[in-house]
Amino acid sequence: REKKRKGSVNIKELEEYIMKKYKVNFSNLRKIRNYLILRVVIVILHDRVHLTFPEIGKIFRLNYRSISYHYNKEDCQFILDKFDKNWSFGV
């Protein structure tokens, strides 16, 4: 039985958007070490794209505990508000 995804995110597109908007340069998501950006991306993947923590963990090669530790909406709400105004993430 397959869980239906409400939307999918194009990782490349997401990277480009974050690079442009926040002047953060990374060649791929696995290399994000800016924790605020990492947290924003985790919240987006979890809340908007509906990936589970283990799935997100695989993308970043982090274990479940570090992903749940980084999942902090309050921490990045102000950036999320800007995302909402400017970009829909194809969701």
Look up the pTM and report it. 0.57
> Is residue 3 in a domain?
no
CB 23 within 8 A of CB 37: no
> Is residue 6 in a domain?
no
> Is residue 2 in a domain?
no
Question: Which residues of the chain fall short of a pLDDT of 50?
Answer: 1-7, 89-91
82: domain CATH number is 1.10.1750
Q: Please give the tally of structural domains in the chain.
A: 1
Which pLDDT does position 30 carry in this prediction? 60
d(CA 9, CA 12): 9
Question: Which domain range does residue 62 map to?
Answer: 11-86
